[in-house]
Amino acid sequence: MSQNVSPAATPAVETRLVYAHGLAAIVTLLISVAFGILASIELLVPDLAGNPAWLSWGRLRYDHTQGIMLGWLGNAFFAFLYHAVPLLTGRPVTSARLGQWIFGLWNFAVVAPGWVLVLAGFSQPLEWAEFPMVVDVFVVIALALAIIQFLPPFFRRGLEDLYVSSWYVIGGLVFTLLAYPMGNFVPELVPGARGAAFSGLWIHDAVGLFVTPLALAIIYYVIPAATRRPIFSHFLSMLGFWLLFFLYPLNGTHHYIYSVIPMSAQIGAITASALLGVDVIIVVANLLLSLRGSGVFSRDVALRFAAMSTIFYLVVSIQGSVQAQMSVNQAVHFSDWVIGHSHLAMLGFATFAAAGGLAHVWQRIPWARYNARALDWSYWLLFAGVILMVTDLTVAGLVEARLWQSAAPWLDSVRAARPYWLIRTGSAIPIAAGFIALLLGLTTGPKGAGLQSVEQTIGLEPVREIAPRLAPAASEAS
């Protein structure tokens, strides 16, 4: 298949769109993190700034999660796709003009107005779907346009022997478009417990069909591109991919265990959750085996982010499989344990993948500034912050769970959580510093320094020639 992707024919990457989405990702990230930090401070100082309505905890919480998912991860994924899709397919994306539209819609019809509307009191009280429905319409439009933008190159190339990242891209975009309305529109039409069943599906699909596939697309791309070695096993890649897409959607109901939703549906979701853990072991084993020789703490910071993301993915998924089990769930559900879990997923796994993806594509924009030292700081600060925060919240969850099982008054559990919440807010210091360092890493430093750092860490080789090496199937199949 390698004749399909001759290095000479490697199409130009729309680097301006990569850059625009990358910067938008970091700007929205910093704003979303500010929402999160404010919300965490309000748990310690509830009467912050005289309690103006727009600064109230609930609204900050809505903007925090929606900003992280759509603003930060959405933009980071788009930035990566503009770089990776042409290199994976040997064909340009559909249209640079369309790209400007998607960029505008995503940031100025979805993220920015979504934030403002939530602060102004227009929102939707559904998890991972808090932006009001008028914004959801633009999300669906933008996702449809993204499919038009990114998928035709794959079809023009032909779907045989696609590298696994391509599959994750295709699957992620298509299934997100399918799943999004389910969490954002259906519960408005179907009441109560019935609506909750659909909500549960979306809560998991938002992570499983949007965040996870695109984050894995990045990891699967960055590891071979940075190590210059094919992935360990294309077979395991594909097995992991398809199992993921079979199992992820079936997990949703595990958010409502011991509820009135039929027990057989709960048991089904719990079983799927356990099986998903098995699948993640396959995926992660394949990725870690591909890292042989480079180690988890590579000198290339992009690769290091991707490698640590892989580890976080393993831990968070095994944790997810365990906490979906009834005996564990009945205790830790509703507690800070789950908040720790979701931060391990979004801040550990997904954010590290996205940061690695951004650093990787930045290295390959010849005119972009690149500050390797700042990125190095970013990595270690975020690493420390995530570990501190997740450990802290996990312990907090266990403390709360224990008090809830006892006869202690409810407020005792709030009182007991306070020191942990203080540490959690403290963990915002390394995390916020890490994100500022990420911003500096991609906006300061000499132009073209990214490429130099690639040469220093993994040897000189024209970056354009990496593309065909990404498809190990080409050699396996022949």
For residues 67 and 111, give the distance between their C-alpha atoms in angstroms, rounded to a whole number: 7
For residue 351, state whether it binds another protein (rule: CB under 8 A). no
For residues 177 and 190, give the distance between their C-alpha atoms in angstroms, rounded to a whole number: 20
For residues 163 and 160, give the distance between their C-alpha atoms in angstroms, rounded to a whole number: 9
Which of residues 134 and 263 has its CB atom nearest to another protein in the complex? Answer: 263
Task: Indicate the burial class of 412 (C-beta count within 10 angstroms; 0-12, 13-18, 19 or more).
Answer: middle
How far the first Cα of the chain sits from its last, in Å, is 8
Query: Of 136-155, which residues contact another protein (CB under 8 A)?
Result: none
- Tell me the CB-side half-sphere exposure of residue 420, using CA atoms within 13 A: 22
For residues 312 and 463, give the distance between their C-alpha atoms in angstroms, rounded to a whole number: 28
Phi, psi at 437, each rounded to 5°: -65, -35
Binding mask 227-246 for another protein (x = CB under 8 A): -----------x---x--xx
For residue 178, state whether it binds another protein (rule: CB under 8 A). yes
- 447 bridge partner residues: 369
For residue 269, state whether it binds another protein (rule: CB under 8 A). yes
Q: What tokens were used for 241?
A: 């991919």
Contact of 276 with 317, CB cutoff 8 Å: yes
Single residue of 102, 105, 196, 381 touching another protein by CB under 8 A: 196
Single residue of 83, 255, 343, 360 touching another protein by CB under 8 A: 255
For residue 49, state whether it binds another protein (rule: CB under 8 A). no
Judged by CB under 8 A, the stretch of 176-184, 300-308, 345-353, 383-391 that binds another protein is: 176-184
Query: Of 417-446, which residues contact another protein (CB under 8 A)?
Result: 417-418
Phi, psi at 369, each rounded to 5°: -70, 150
For residue 252, state whether it binds another protein (rule: CB under 8 A). yes
For residues 352 and 434, give the distance between their C-alpha atoms in angstroms, rounded to a whole number: 11
The CB-of-61 to another protein minimum distance in angstroms stands at 5
Query: Of 328-347, which residues contact another protein (CB under 8 A)?
Result: 330, 333-335, 338-339
For residues 427 and 123, give the distance between their C-alpha atoms in angstroms, rounded to a whole number: 29
The CB-of-292 to another protein minimum distance in angstroms stands at 26
The CB-of-44 to another protein minimum distance in angstroms stands at 8
Query: Of 353-392, which residues contact another protein (CB under 8 A)?
Result: none
Single residue of 195, 277, 426, 448 touching another protein by CB under 8 A: 195
> Which of the 8 DSSP states describes residue 221?
H
Binding mask 105-124 for another protein (x = CB under 8 A): ----------------xxxx
Judged by CB under 8 A, the stretch of 101-109, 197-205, 359-367, 461-469 that binds another protein is: 197-205
Which of residues 297 and 334 has its CB atom nearest to another protein in the complex? Answer: 334
Within 10 angstroms of residue 307's Cβ, the number of other Cβ atoms is: 27
Which of residues 14 and 130 has its CB atom nearest to another protein in the complex? Answer: 130
Which residue is listed with tokens 């103006």? 52
Q: Count interface residues toward another protein (CB under 8 A).
A: 89
Single residue of 127, 233, 391, 463 touching another protein by CB under 8 A: 127
The CB-of-331 to another protein minimum distance in angstroms stands at 9
Rg (CA), the chain: 22
